[in-house]
């Protein structure tokens, strides 16, 4: 029941179209297909991303998080200090499902490991329960595990022991934009000031 609710909430009929219809290799492949974007306009391979600031750091650096109306989990939009992310429901069983999909992409999908790329970005954004709380407050994450620290630990383990994936050009551009926003001297010093002097009541 949980597996049906989890994956079909991101299901979009456009995800299964004639341009890329194929016979799923097995159930994991089918579940992965439901999570893919309806448009493959960012398939061009980009490069590795060695670092991305966490959600709390970016928030202190004037980034605004907002939940998007997209039904596709992988849709990320960044423009003028605003990052839109689709709602991600986190269950106790999410780790099992996602780890299986990551393993499938690692073994069978060359250059199109979109789920792994998304989870890599999420891993960078979430380091602590504070990062989880920020995304929960913005309704980007629906925490059905109850414990913010458990969500952070789970996300940090989704791509554990998996070689660093190369991001597609769209994701790479977003990450570079986020890093650039935080590293802007005006935003960076403001973030340091907020962190040092206003990090507690």
Q: CB-based contacts of 146: which residues, under 8 Å, 6+ apart?
A: none
Domain ranges of the chain: 2-12+50-193
| Pairing assessment for the beta strands 76-79 and 88-90 based on DSSP bridges | unpaired
Query: In percent, how much of the chain has pLDDT > 90?
Result: 50
Dist. CA 2–CA 5, nearest whole Å: 5
How far is residue 106 from each of residues 131, 161, 175, measured CA to CA in Å? Answer: 27, 11, 22
Instruction: Write the DSSP assignment of the chain as a string of letters.
Output: -HHHHHHHTT--GGGS-TTT----SSHHHHHHHHHS-S--TT-SB---------HHHHHHTT-EEEE---S-TT-EEEETTEEEE--EEE-TTHHHHHHHHHHHHHHH-SS--HHHHHHHHHHHH-SSHHHHHHHHHTTSEEESSS-HHHHHHHHHHTTTTSPPPPPBHHHHHHHHHHHHHHHSHHHHHHHHHHHHHSS--
Q: Of the ranges 90-104, 122-136, 150-164, which is most confident?
A: 122-136
| Average pLDDT rounded to a whole number, residues 145-173 | 90
pLDDT bin (cut points 50, 70, 90) of residue 22 is low
Taking only the tens place, the pLDDT of each residue in 25-47 is 677 877 888 888 766 565 566 67
Most confident of 84-93, 109-118, 156-165: 84-93
Residue 42: CB atoms within 10 Å? 20
pLDDT exceeding 70 applies to what percent of the chain?
74
More confident: 182 or 199 = 182
In this prediction, residues 6-19 reach a mean pLDDT of 46
Residue 4 has pLDDT above 80, yes or no: no
Mean pLDDT in the chain? 82
Whether residue 118 has pLDDT greater than 50? yes
Residue 18 has pLDDT above 80, yes or no: no
């Amino acid at each position: 029941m949980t597996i049906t609710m989890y994956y079909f909430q991101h299901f979009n009929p456009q995800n299964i179209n004639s341009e890329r219809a194929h016979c799923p290799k097995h159930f994991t492949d089918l579940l992965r297909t439901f999570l893919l974007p309806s448009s493959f306009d960012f398939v061009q391979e980009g490069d590795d991303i060695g670092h991305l600031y966490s959600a709390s750091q970016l928030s202190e650096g004037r980034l605004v998080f907002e939940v998007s109306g997209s039904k596709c989990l992988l849709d990320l939009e960044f423009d003028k200090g605003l990052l839109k992310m689709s709602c991600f429901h986190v269950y106790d069983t999410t780790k099992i499902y996602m780890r299986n999909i990551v393993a499938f992409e690692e073994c069978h999908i060359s250059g199109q490991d979109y789920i792994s790329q998304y989870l890599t970005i999420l891993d960078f954004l979430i380091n602590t329960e504070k990062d989880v709380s920020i995304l929960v407050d913005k309704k980007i994450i629906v925490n059905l595990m109850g414990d913010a620290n458990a969500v952070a630990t789970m996300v940090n383990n989704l791509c554990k022991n998996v070689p660093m994936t190369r991001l597609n050009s769209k994701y790479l551009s977003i990450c570079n934009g986020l890093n650039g926003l935080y590293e802007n001297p005006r935003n960076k010093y403001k973030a340091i000031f907020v962190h040092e002097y206003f990090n507690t009541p």
